Structure 1
């Protein structure tokens, strides 16, 4: 799609059409590559000594990592965002890989799609950001990595808002869809966990200053990124616990609701049971024997039995209410 090249230093930034010419120009060379053709990619690899397997890893979107070479460092991370569906909770985590290659006086960013963190750093160079243009390629790589990590915080803020809404729904009006929404949040957090953990390992390599291309001055900035990623890992684990807690509350609420219904049905059945027994006994209206019930011939036998049954029902209901079962 695009291959853009600039060379910058404290005096300013200049655009170049030819990558090889920009590579030899004084200053820091930055090549921003988005969705390149195979010919463009080959030219960039040849110019900066990048192995084809490195660019293939970016195109295939493998897990985030850092690889160290004699003349450059390769950092692979991923931008992430929530793709919303028709409703608030119909969403999934969408990842876009970004490869950052940097060496002595040059940095190459390669991505299938445009990455916001790369765009912001690129625009900062164009504005002449003093901190960025005064430092080398390792600092430019730091700014991109730091921007991606900062975007993870915005992503977690969205998930936190969803968790709060789910928790309120679980307490106020849980329904069949509540559990589906909770499971959706758990899947998002699991995907984010799988994304953030390897970023932490990658940031750790850079923070220790293992790459020869990371200067001692830049190490402290990478340590700051590492601290942020560690905090992100803790937040992801905390939110996973909150989502699991919301699921447990929902299941307990459902169980309590079911128990309440069963209790009421049991009380009703218990009240009706003796009435059924009385009706069954007086339904055996045998005749012609001295052993038959004398009440069958009473003038007021029928209303008397009804009154007895009513008193039984009222008495049992009063007893259940006194015991707190109603």
Structure 2
């Protein structure tokens, strides 16, 4: 779908013809979303966009910024969290957005829906004075700004997941929890692969020597760049938190195993002397002066049982005093 707007301080006008939109007086913004091959080719022909830049948008390459003779090209990414039937099936879905900034025109090409860019379009149609009175470089800034703001929505969801996992690790660690930890870790890594190149792209646009961006607009690009720096720092922090949470989970699991092994060891230790007694009195040799006299004693069996119970009780008391039980 192609939306062509031409606007200035006097108002906004929509165009169906791309050539007429480019020739019109004012700032021309053509936005292509859910773009087909034919639509991309039509926009590329109308604004003389380089085939390599168009190929980058189609092939979904790494985010980048590049200057051409009549415009500046920036490839950035949208990011959203797609949910499956379970938490383990969540993943970061990214789509390329090509931003072409000319002298008096702006072209944005998105292979997906790019809903955040649509909000900027609606602001233009409503007559946002800051957008109408400034050039295409300011509109491009607003597009990049809303894309970066959408990153924080994804990060907020990941933060909530990490907090929930931390609570589970402390309260009731189980086997499924490790899968959740690894899932969040993969999402953070995927998100980092999206954000880091976009940060580098904004660094190029904000450094002050890009011809298509006016001097009074540079500070806005630097602001978006600062947001991306903050985002990368938070991603690194959250990744460290997830690694730490995994270590806590493994330590808790090991501690639980150690507690079980301690109890089993204590039980086995209690039964060692009892087994010895049973083994000794199980040697029923007869017709010898060296036989155990207790074998013929009337109260031999109850005496041995009471003795064994006494030994077991003493050992349990000892282990309790030593805090083994």
Specify the TM-score bucket, using the shorter chain as the normaliser: over 0.9
Partner Cα distance (1:142, 1:41) in 2: 22
Partner Cα distance (1:248, 1:43) in 2: 54
Q: How does 1:67-146 map to 2 (within 5 A)?
A: 67-88=66-87, 90-146=89-145
Partner Cα distance (1:209, 1:73) in 2: 13
For structure 2, the 5+ residue unaligned runs are none
How far off its partner does 1:37 sit?
Answer: 3.8
Partner Cα distance (2:173, 2:86) in 1: 17
Contact 1:93 1:192 in 2 (8 A): yes
Contact 1:59 1:111 in 2 (8 A): no
Deviations 1:241-264, CA, capped at 9 Å, x for gaps: 111111111100000000000000
Aligned to 2:56: 57
Contact 2:26 2:104 in 1 (8 A): yes
Contact 1:79 1:148 in 2 (8 A): yes
How far off its partner does 1:209 sit?
Answer: 2.0
Aligned to 2:196: 197
How far off its partner does 1:65 sit?
Answer: 1.1
Partner Cα distance (2:97, 2:171) in 1: 43
Aligned to 2:278: 279
Contact 2:40 2:109 in 1 (8 A): no
Using structure 2 for the length normalisation, give the TM-score.
0.98
Task: Pick which of 38-47 and 91-100 moved more.
Answer: 38-47
Runs of 4+ in 1 over 6 A off after TM superposition: none
For structure 1, the 5+ residue unaligned runs are none
Partner Cα distance (2:180, 2:230) in 1: 26
Partner Cα distance (2:176, 2:106) in 1: 48
- Counterpart secondary structure, 1:147: helix
How far off its partner does 1:88 sit?
Answer: 4.3
How far off its partner does 1:87 sit?
Answer: 3.3
Partner Cα distance (2:250, 2:282) in 1: 46
Deviations 1:185-225, CA, capped at 9 Å, x for gaps: 00000011111111111111111123210110110000000
How far off its partner does 1:83 sit?
Answer: 0.9
Contact 2:35 2:112 in 1 (8 A): no
Q: Structure 1 323/39 Cα, relative in aligned 2: closer, same or farther at 3 Å?
A: closer
Contact 1:66 1:75 in 2 (8 A): yes
- Counterpart secondary structure, 2:74: strand
Task: Pick which of 87-96 and 266-275 moved more.
Answer: 87-96
Contact 2:71 2:100 in 1 (8 A): yes
Aligned to 2:20: 21
How far off its partner does 1:89 sit?
Answer: 5.0
How far off its partner does 1:46 sit?
Answer: 2.0
Partner Cα distance (2:38, 2:150) in 1: 32
Partner Cα distance (2:152, 2:34) in 1: 27
Task: Pick which of 94-103 and 39-48 moved more.
Answer: 39-48
Aligned to 1:211: 210
Contact 1:189 1:240 in 2 (8 A): yes
- Counterpart secondary structure, 2:290: coil
Partner Cα distance (1:29, 1:74) in 2: 16
Contact 1:196 1:229 in 2 (8 A): yes
State the number of aligned residues. Answer: 325
Contact 1:98 1:110 in 2 (8 A): yes
Partner Cα distance (2:95, 2:234) in 1: 22
- Counterpart secondary structure, 2:4: strand
